[in-house]
Structures are given as C-alpha cells and as structure tokens.
Amino acid sequence: MIPNRAAVSAAVTVAEAHGVRVREPVVLNDSFNLRIHLRPAPVVARVPTVTALGRARPADALAREVAVASFLHAAGAPVVPPSDLLPAGPHVHHGVTVSFWAHVDHDPGHAVTPDAAGRALAGLHAALRGFPGGLPRLGPVLDEPVRLLSALAGSGVVEPDVLALLRDSHAELTARLRDVDGLQAVHGDAHPGNLLATPGGLLWNDFEETMAGPPGWDVACLLRTTRLDGRAAVRAYGADPDDPGLAVYVAARGLQGTLWVLARAAHSPQWLPAARQALQAWLNDPTGMTRALR
C-alpha cells in the first residue's frame, strides 16, 4: 500500500506542475483513501490507498468518479465538483494515482436528518438517470469483493474457515444479483457520511463506487446506516423499508462493508478492533437485516 508520505508528495508535485501553489498540505482523512487539502489552494487531492486493494486499475474508478461528478455538477445537482484550478485527473505520478476536487467549507458535525437524507437521495437518482456514460454493471458489488477475498487469504486477519464462509456468501449473492434489472447510474456508497453540510445546503461527495445498478442498492446503503434512522430516511426517499426486494441488497452491502474493513485492518493494525466487531456482526447475521431493523 502507498505510504502517506509518498501519496502527499505525489499530490503536491502534480498540483504544482499545473500551477497550483501548495504551502501546507493537510491530511483531512486517512481511512480507505487519503484526502489532502492542498492549502492555501481550495483543492483536495484524493489518493486511493486501501481501496486500491479491491481494484485492478484504481485510476479507472477515479475516472468514473470524475465523469459522474462533472456531469452532475454541470446539470446543477448538489455535488462536490472536481477542481477547476487544474485538470481533475486521474493522474499517475511514480505509481501514485491522484484526482483533484474543489475544497468546500462544510460542518463535519452537522447531523443530517432522515428526511433530508432520503430526499437528497431521491433527487440524486433523478439527476443520475440522465448520465450518458458507461459504468460497470454492479462492479463494486460483484467484482471488487473477489479481489478483497484474495487479499485477505493468508493475511492473518481472518481464519481460513471464516474466509470460506465469506467466499460462499459472496458466490451465493452474486448468483442472485447477476440478473437484476432496472439498472441506472447510482452512487454506490449512498450513506449520510457522504453528504457534506455546506452553507448552501447538502452536497453529495465520494462517487468512486458509482456503477450501473438498481436504485435499491443505494436505498439499502441508506437503510443500513447507523448515522441516522435509516428506515425513516428510506420512507422519505419514497420507498418501503420493509420491501422484500431490498433484502438481497442489504445482505450484499453488509458483506461488502465487512470485507472492506477487514482489508483495511490487514494493512493497518490499528483498525483490527473495528474489523473484528464488523466480522462478528456479519457472522451473527449475514442477512444484514438486524442492523437494518434498528
């Protein structure tokens, strides 16, 4: 995995090569990706770190993210746009992939209400129906977990028998999801943490898991969140949180999230407690419905 120092250096080098002066790069977030505010410029660099483990070509995911966010911004949808101070990318510098985004003032402590989250997702889906580009069919749901399962083998984070259970669950869910219809461009990771509260209102952020998928996938992401009352948010979206058709998406979302936190722990041991908790929750209820019923 790319060291943080190399990631920051690459982001600064590419930005300055395009005329953006950087005096004080500040890491805003270091979890699955590294996000760096290139102060004093109003630019945020995104570098895939843990997420690169699940993607054969991380630059492809960033390119799709830039394309979708650019389309939405041009259409007037409430999203964090790519930077207009330099080409958004993605750029690759010495093996480090980076994209550039506008830095927006926001309140990280703002509690998004269920009603606001549900209405925001409904509006996003309406805007995304017009996206003209090609997107992978459920790629982050069907394909990326295969790479994560391979990365976890021999990591010591997951026992072989538990890894086999995770593999079997993914195979079963893949069989159920391959023939779903009603696909359109969807966010892919539509939880309230990807809504930024700005002075001008809520802005959607983080489209790197955007894909061609059923809108029910994003609804399941919202239903499973622990940041707010997911059931109320789904009703505000205009859907029934008890719709049996959501069950397969809820289960697949639960598995997907579990694999990502396990992969993060495999490379950053400080995340092991969170990973063990997530794995135990999945083992207790692979359907994911216990969390969705809270």
Give residue-wise pLDDT tens across range 235-270: 999 999 999 999 999 999 999 999 999 999 988 888
CA-CA distance, 65 to 72, in Å (whole number)?
11
Is the domain of 125 the same as that of 65? no
* 95 inside domain: yes
**What pLDDT is attached to residue 155?**
85
**What pLDDT is attached to residue 5?**
85
Give residue-wise pLDDT tens across range 28-68: 988 889 999 999 999 999 999 888 888 889 999 999 999 99
* 109 inside domain: no
Is the domain of 54 the same as that of 128? no
Q: How many domains does the chain have?
A: 2
Domain that holds residue 95: 4-102
* 171 inside domain: yes
Is the domain of 145 the same as that of 283? yes
* 237 inside domain: yes
Residue 166 falls in which region: left (phi positive, over 0), alpha (psi -120 to 50) or beta: alpha
Segment 133-157 mean pLDDT? 92
Look at 34-38, 127-131, 153-157 and tell me which has the smallest mean pLDDT.
153-157
H or E, element range at 27: strand 24-30
Angle ∠(167,30,282) on CA atoms, nearest 5: 30
Is the domain of 49 the same as that of 177? no
Rounding to the nearest 10 degrees, give the CA dihedral for residues 247, 250, 252, 257.
-170
* Alpha-carbon torsion (153, 159, 161, 164), positive or negative: negative
Give residue-wise pLDDT tens across range 173-212: 999 998 899 999 999 999 999 999 999 999 999 999 999 9
* 185 inside domain: yes
Is the domain of 210 the same as that of 67? no
Whichever domain contains 222, its CATH number is 3.90.1200.10
Is the domain of 201 the same as that of 86? no
Is the domain of 34 the same as that of 86? yes
Is the domain of 275 the same as that of 151? yes
Per-residue confidence at 2, pLDDT binned at 50, 70, 90? Answer: low
What letter would DSSP give residue 19?
Answer: T
